[in-house]
Structure 1
C-alpha cells in the first residue's frame, strides 16, 4: 500500500486512479478476492474516510480469462453430450405429473404458493422457460462430467461453449429490438440500456446477477448442502429454532413504516418463481400429508428441497410435523447462449420503477387503466378509492363469499394488509397527479397524462428511497461512499452503460430479507391488537371506513423491531397458517432458500468487503457464539442471512456492515445502471425532467405522500420525518397543511 500513498500535511492520501478508472468500495470490485496479492487493484480514497479500489474489472465476480485457457474446451457441443443430456432431462420429467399430492386450500403450503402467484398465461410461459433452462443446466452438467471441467471454470463463467448450432439453440433468448421504443421507460424494463446487446438488462424475466460465484456443490445447480468438513449442513429449521427467538426489542428511532416501505421496494425489484408441477401452475409437494414426513426420494419431484424438522422440536413436534415444504426456484435460460450454472430469475423488472403500481408488462398495465384522464382503475367504496377488487379467487387463497381481495400491478398485494395500505397510497397519488395535470393542461390526452403521472410517481418513489429510506437503513456514510446521495440542484452524471442494474442473489436471497427481523408480530390499531398471521391474504378489514387512516397512523407511530437474532413467532411459527393450527417458518425458509440459490458462506462476504474472515466462534458475543457452535461446525459454514443478522447495526443505520454493503451495492446498480433514473439529463435520459420540474420533485417525502392521499377521517397530523417514530424527540407531529411539509408544485408541468 505504501507505493500508492502520498502525504499531505498530517493526512495520508492514496494516489488518484488512472483517468477513466473509478475508485469504488471493494465490494463493487469483487474479482479482487480471486487475485494474488501482487494482482490486487490500486488502493484509493473514498468519502467518509474509507479506502476503496481503482477497479478495472467492474462488478463482475471474476476477471476475464485469457483466450488460451478458453480454447481448452471444444468449440461445439459433442453429439454424445447432447444425447445423454436429452435422455437425462426426459427421465427427470417422466412421471412428474404422477407425483401430484393435493395441497388443500387454507393449508400453509397452499397460501405460500400464492406468493408466486401468476396468471394462467404466465404459468404456461414460466413452465416452458424453466424447463428450457433446466435442459441447458443438465447439458452443462453432462459436459462437465465428460470433459472433467474444473468446478472453478463453471462458477467463473470460463466455459465459453455455446448452444448455437444445437437443438437447444432455440431456448436462447434474443435481446429485444428497441428501434423507436427508447424514449420512454418501458413497462417490462426492456430497452433501458442503449446498447443493442444489452437491451435486456434489468428487464422482467431476466436472471439475477451475483457478487460472488455460486457455492453449488457441483458448481452448476446442486444446492449447497455440505459443511466445510464434508458433513451435512444442519437443518435450516434447527438453526432457526436455536438462534432466532421471539424477543420484543423495539427500535429506539425507526417505525414500522420503514419496514413496510422496504417490502414495497422488494416487490418492485424482485419476484422469484418456484418450479411448478405442470403448465397449469400446479404446486409441488415434498412432504407427506400434514408434513408428517419427507417423501421418499423416488416419490419426490426433482425440485424438492424440503426442510427436515426434529422429532423433539418444541413447536412443530406437538403437531407431528417432521417436514416443511420447500421447492427450488425456477431458472432462466442462459442470456449469452452458453454453458452456465443455474441462474434464478425475477419475473418483475429489476428497476425502481413502481411496478407494483403499474405492472411489469403491457397486458397487466392495460388491465389497470381506465383510459380516461390517464387514471388507474379504483374501487369506490362509499366515497373512498381503494384498489380495484379482483375476480381471481386464487389471489387470496380463498373463495369464501364476501371476502374482499384486491388487485394491483403485483400479484403479492394481498400478502399483508399493511402492504395494501401503501399500494393504495401510490395508486391514489397517480390519480391525484393526473387530475391536477388535466386541470393545468385541458387539451392533454389520456396517454400523456398517464405517462407523465407515471414518470412523476416513479421519480417520487426514487427520491424518497435515496433521500429518506436508504440513509435510515444503511447510514449516511454508506450512502455517501456509494455515490447514492441525491443532488441538491442540477443533474447527476453517474449513469454508466457498463452497470447491469439486475438484482443480485445476495441482495434478494439474504441482505434485503433483513426486514423479516424488523416485523412486529402485532399491529396496534387504536384499542385493537391484530396478529399479523390474521391479516395475511385476508385484507377485508380495509373495507372498514376508518381502517386506512388508522393503519397509516400505526405505521408512523409503532416502532419497528431491531434487526437482530429475533424473529416474531408470527413469521417463524405461524407464517401463512390459514386454517391450520401451525404455519411455516420464514427464518428456516430464508436459510434454505440461500442454499438453493448457492449463496456462499458469510465469511466469504466479509472477505469481498475487505474485512478479515472469522476464524472461531469466540469472535462473536459469548451467548451467540455458543449457539452458533451448536448448529455449525465451522465459521466457514455460517449462512449469509444468519451472519448478517447477527452483526451490530452500523452508525446511524439499522443493519450491520455486511448487509449495508450488499444493499448499498444493489441500490448503486439501480441508480448507475438505470438510464431513466429521475436525476439524469437529456444527454442520458431522453425523457428527462426540466430543471424546474426536477427541483420540485426534490420536495417529495413519504410524509407528504401520505398526507396527500389519506382519507383524513382520523389522520390529520404526520411526523415531519416519516420513517422516524412519531414519539422520537425532535420529530414533530404537524398538520398536513403545515409549510414544513412542502408539496411538489405541479405547475412546473404546465404546457
Structure 2
C-alpha cells in the first residue's frame, strides 16, 4: 500500500526568521505494509484496519481528504490570499470578523436549545479531528508576529489600525501537513476520523495504555475524576499542585482543559467506561482485564454513536436531512449501511464547517448545584481558559455543577455573531493578550487552501451566487442585511470564506444551519457512518452487538448518561432541549449487563 505522507525535519537558514522547519515531502515511491487481523472483534485504538482493503483510511496521523479541489494560491501549497474576481488581496480575516461576526451588547439566546448543544458540538469535533500547528523544535509556538514572522509556516492575521484589540497582528502558524502523491499540501489529522471516542481513549496505543489501570478493565481516576496529567501540559496550573484537588486533568485529547465544560464531558464518559467495566465484571467474573476493557469501550462507543446520530445531529441538520442522507438511526434493531468503498477520512471542509458551534459559545460560565440553583455567581468565560479551578471546586465536583448549567440554560443563538469571550478575548492571558476565534477560523480555511462560498454551493447542487443581491442569482439563502455586510468586505460572492458562509446562511427548516452547512455536515457524517466497519448498528456477529444488546444501548440517552455518572437527581428527557420538565434520574434507563453474560 502506498502511503503519501511523512514529515522530515530540515534546517532552514536563520535569515528567514524560522530556525527549524518541518518540511512535508513526497515518498510515493515507497510503501508501508499494514498487517490487519481480519477476525479481530474490536477496533484498533488508532483507527487503522477499520477498512481491511485500505487499512490507513481514517487512521490517526493520516491526511484529511477534500470534497472540492484546493484553492491554494499556487495551486499546491501556499494559502489562498487573493480574490478570484479581482486578483487583489482578500480582506484581512480580522476585518471580516469585526464586520460580520462581532456580537452586540446583549447575548441573544436560542428559544429551545440548551447549552449542551454547544458543549456536545465541541466534544464531538474533538473526536474526529485534531489539526496541530507547526511549532519550534521544542514545541513552543512560533512567534508569527515577531521573530518568526518570515517563517514559511507562519500565516499571521493583520489587524487594522484602531482595532479594539490595540495590536497590529494576530499570531497564527500553519497547520501541520504532508505532501500527497499529486504534490498537494494536505493537512494531517492527529485523531482517528471514526467516531470511536479517541478523545477519551487516546490516539495511539501508548496514550491508551497511560490511561489504563490494567485491572478490571478500568481507566485511571483520581477520586472518581479524571486522572492527573503528571507533566501539567494540558492546563495552566495555578497554585501548588495537589494530587486530589489541584492538578491538570488528563484524558485522551490534549485540549481537555480548554474550558471546564469540556473537561466535564470528558469526565462523564470516562466514568461511564468504568461503570460499564464494573457492570460487566459482575456478570462475567471470569473475564480478564483486556476483555473487560475492550467490551466496556465497545459499549461506550455504541452509546456515543447513538447519542450523536440519534439525539444531537438531527437538531443540527434536521430530521428530514438525516433521512434523506440515510444517516438516521432506528428506534430498535439493526440498520447496516456499511460500504467498504466509503472512505471515512475526515474531510477538510467538514472540520471548518463544524466550527459553526463557535457561534453558540457563551460569554459566561455558570455553576448549578443538585437542585439547579446557582452555586456561585456567573463568571466571564475568558477568565477560565485552560484553568481548572472550577473543575476542582466544591471538593472536586465543580465540573458536575457546570454540566448541570449546560442542560438547564439556553444556548446563545446560532447566527453570524460570536460572543466577545471568543471574538475579542479568546484565550486571554493575565496580560490581556488574546485572540479571535472567528478570524482564526477564516484564516485557517485560507491556510488549508479551501475555496470560497460558490465552490461548495456547486458541489452541493446549490445555485451559486453571481452578486450580493438576495434575489434569484444572488445570495438567496441569506438575509438582505447580511448580504449588504458581506458586500462591504468581499469583492464578490466567490470570495466569501467557508466559515463565514456557514454561519450567515438562513437556517433550513428543522435545522440550526443553512443549506450549505446541512450539505457539508451530512456528507461528512455519512462518511463516518457508512465507512465505519464497526458502526454500532451493524448486523455483524463478529464485531457487532446482538439485537437485544443494541436495543439496550439505544435506550441510553445523554440525559441517562448524566444521571448514571453524576450526582444529578433530575433531568429532562432530552439534554439538548431547554426549559422542558425534568423527572427523577431513577426513571431513566440503565444498561442491562445481563445481556452481555457469556454462556
Q: Same fold (TM over 0.5)?
A: yes
Paired with 1:692 and 1:446, the residues of 2 have a C-alpha distance of: 24
Find the counterpart in structure 2 of residue 533 from structure 1: 382
Find the counterpart in structure 1 of residue 56 from structure 2: 200
Deviation for aligned residue 1:492: 2.1
| Unaligned 5+ runs, structure 1 | 1-88, 101-126, 137-161, 290-294
Equivalent pairs counted in the alignment come to 567
Paired with 1:255 and 1:582, the residues of 2 have a C-alpha distance of: 31
Which structure has the highest helix share of the two?
1
Find the counterpart in structure 2 of residue 308 from structure 1: 158
Find the counterpart in structure 2 of residue 457 from structure 1: 300
Deviation for aligned residue 1:163: 4.3
Are positions 1:566 and 2:417 aligned together?
Answer: yes
Report SS of the residue matched to 1:544.
helix
Find the counterpart in structure 2 of residue 231 from structure 1: 88
Superimposed CA distance per residue, residues 701-733 of structure 1 (whole angstroms, 9 cap, x where no aligned partner): 0000000001x2xx31111111101x1xxx320
Structure 1 ranges of 4+ moved more than 3 A: 96-100, 179-183, 397-400
* Aligned pairs (5 A) from 1:397-408: 397-398=236-237, 400-402=239-241, 403-408=246-251
Superimposed CA distance per residue, residues 565-619 of structure 1 (whole angstroms, 9 cap, x where no aligned partner): 1101100111111212241011000000000011111111111121211122121
Find the counterpart in structure 2 of residue 625 from structure 1: 483
Match of 2:12 among 81, 87, 93: 93
Find the counterpart in structure 1 of residue 574 from structure 2: 721
Find the counterpart in structure 1 of residue 364 from structure 2: 522
Superimposed CA distance per residue, residues 462-487 of structure 1 (whole angstroms, 9 cap, x where no aligned partner): 00100000111111001101111112
Paired with 1:251 and 1:746, the residues of 2 have a C-alpha distance of: 38
* Aligned pairs (5 A) from 1:60-79: none
Report SS of the residue matched to 2:525.
helix
* Aligned pairs (5 A) from 1:15-94: 93-94=12-13
Deviation for aligned residue 1:692: 1.2
Find the counterpart in structure 1 of residue 131 from structure 2: 272
Paired with 1:642 and 1:98, the residues of 2 have a C-alpha distance of: 32
Q: Is the 8 A contact 2:237 2:247 kept in 1?
A: no
| Unaligned 5+ runs, structure 2 | 1-8, 368-373, 471-477
Q: Is the 8 A contact 2:42 2:298 kept in 1?
A: no
Are positions 1:211 and 2:67 aligned together?
Answer: yes
Q: 1:98 to 1:219 in 2, by over 3 A?
A: closer
Paired with 2:591 and 2:313, the residues of 1 have a C-alpha distance of: 21
Report SS of the residue matched to 1:571.
helix
Paired with 2:364 and 2:199, the residues of 1 have a C-alpha distance of: 25
Find the counterpart in structure 2 of residue 437 from structure 1: 280
Deviation for aligned residue 1:499: 0.5
Find the counterpart in structure 1 of residue 591 from structure 2: 744
Find the counterpart in structure 2 of residue 733 from structure 1: 582
Match of 2:44 among 186, 198, 218: 186
| TM-score, structure 2 as length reference | 0.91
Q: 1:677 to 1:163 in 2, by over 3 A?
A: closer
Report SS of the residue matched to 1:395.
coil
Structure 1 range deviating more: 368-377 or 243-252? 243-252
* Aligned pairs (5 A) from 1:348-359: 348-359=191-202
Deviation for aligned residue 1:396: 1.4
Q: Mark the structure with the bigger radius of gyration.
A: 1
Q: Is the 8 A contact 1:182 1:191 kept in 2?
A: no
Paired with 1:606 and 1:649, the residues of 2 have a C-alpha distance of: 15
Report SS of the residue matched to 1:524.
strand
Find the counterpart in structure 1 of residue 290 from structure 2: 447
Report SS of the residue matched to 1:466.
helix
Are positions 1:392 and 2:231 aligned together?
Answer: yes
Superimposed CA distance per residue, residues 623-653 of structure 1 (whole angstroms, 9 cap, x where no aligned partner): 2222212111111111111111111112122
Find the counterpart in structure 2 of residue 417 from structure 1: 260
Find the counterpart in structure 2 of residue 145 from structure 1: none
Find the counterpart in structure 2 of residue 262 from structure 1: 121
Paired with 1:540 and 1:388, the residues of 2 have a C-alpha distance of: 15
| RMSD between superposed Cα atoms in Å | 1.9
Report SS of the residue matched to 1:529.
strand
Q: 1:626 to 1:550 in 2, by over 3 A?
A: same
Match of 1:323 among 162, 169, 173: 169
